[in-house]
């Protein structure tokens, strides 16, 4: 563990190391504290619990691609870069996504944050109830399918997976966001 990192970054780094070999449920806050060399109050200063830490780690790992997307609105590039990050950190994400039905799971967080991101890109006042249902269906499905593509449950390359997800964006979203 690098001593010059801030306490928050040491906690995040320690958690990444532990996630290489263990699922979230098997990692205790005590394990994280010992590896990060921080106190319990320091941990709780930055995070409400290890699930909040999971969400923060996800955001940290994907923040660069999301910020790039905000700058250029290139869905294809954004999806591909996100898939590469997930693939390059596959052991970590397999442990983070191990229990997708758990209400505290990263999968639930991903759906909520992806939905909020899409809503922020769209002027929600212009969306009908039917379109909102289409948006929810797409976000839930693409979050699940995207992960299955990354871990290899579907026999397709990351590029084919990106194309699949782009091609299945609901038409009203493609129109509003000018996606080809």
Q: Report, as an integer, the average pLDDT of 20-39.
A: 94
pLDDT higher at 3 or 41: 41
Q: Report, as an integer, the average pLDDT of 123-143.
A: 87
Q: How far apart are CA 84 and CA 129, in angstroms?
A: 34
pLDDT exceeds cutoff 60 at 3: no
Residues 147-164: pLDDT tens digits?
A: 888 888 888 999 999 999
Per-residue pLDDT band for 55 (boundaries 50, 70, 90) equals very high
Q: Return phi, psi of residue 28, to 5°.
A: -95, 160
**R_g of the chain, CA atoms, integer Å:** 18
Residue 150's pLDDT is 83
pTM score of the predicted model:
0.83
pLDDT higher at 51 or 101: 51
Q: How far apart are CA 69 and CA 65, in angstroms?
A: 6
Residue 128's pLDDT is 86
Q: Are 71 and 29 in contact, with CB atoms under 8 Å apart? A: no
DSSP string, 124-143: GGG--HHHHHHHHHHHHHHH
Q: Report, as an integer, the average pLDDT of 56-69.
A: 87
Per-residue pLDDT band for 21 (boundaries 50, 70, 90) equals very high
Nearest residue to 80 via CA among 169, 149, 20: 149
Mean pLDDT rounded to a whole number for the chain = 88
pLDDT exceeds cutoff 80 at 140: yes
What's the longest Cα–Cα distance across the chain? Answer: 53
Q: Report, as an integer, the average pLDDT of 88-112.
A: 82
User: How many degrees, rounded to 5, is the angle at CA 72 between CA 94 and CA 54?
Assistant: 25
Q: Are 150 and 158 in contact, with CB atoms under 8 Å apart? A: yes
Q: Report, as an integer, the average pLDDT of 58-84.
A: 87
Per-residue pLDDT band for 75 (boundaries 50, 70, 90) equals confident
3-class SS at 156? coil
Give the helix ranges, DSSP H, for 3-49: 7-19, 29-36, 40-46
């Amino acid at each position: 563990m690098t001593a010059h990192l801030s306490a928050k970054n040491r906690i995040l780094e320690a958690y990444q190391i532990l996630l290489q070999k263990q699922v979230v449920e098997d990692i205790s806050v005590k394990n994280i504290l010992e590896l990060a060399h921080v106190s319990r109050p320091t941990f709780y200063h930055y995070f409400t619990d290890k699930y909040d830490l999971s969400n923060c780690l996800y955001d940290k790992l994907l923040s660069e691609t999301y910020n790039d997307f905000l700058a250029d609105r290139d869905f294809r590039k954004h999806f591909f870069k996100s898939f590469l990050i997930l693939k390059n950190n596959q052991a970590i994400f397999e442990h983070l996504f191990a229990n997708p039905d758990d209400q505290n799971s990263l999968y639930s967080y991903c759906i909520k944050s992806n939905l909020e991101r899409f809503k922020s890109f769209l002027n929600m006042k212009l969306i009908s109830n039917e379109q909102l249902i289409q948006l929810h269906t797409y976000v839930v499905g693409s979050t699940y399918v995207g992960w299955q593509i990354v871990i290899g449950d579907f026999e397709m390359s990351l590029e084919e997976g990106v194309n699949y997800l782009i091609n299945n964006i609901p038409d009203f979203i493609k129109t509003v966001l000018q996606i080809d």
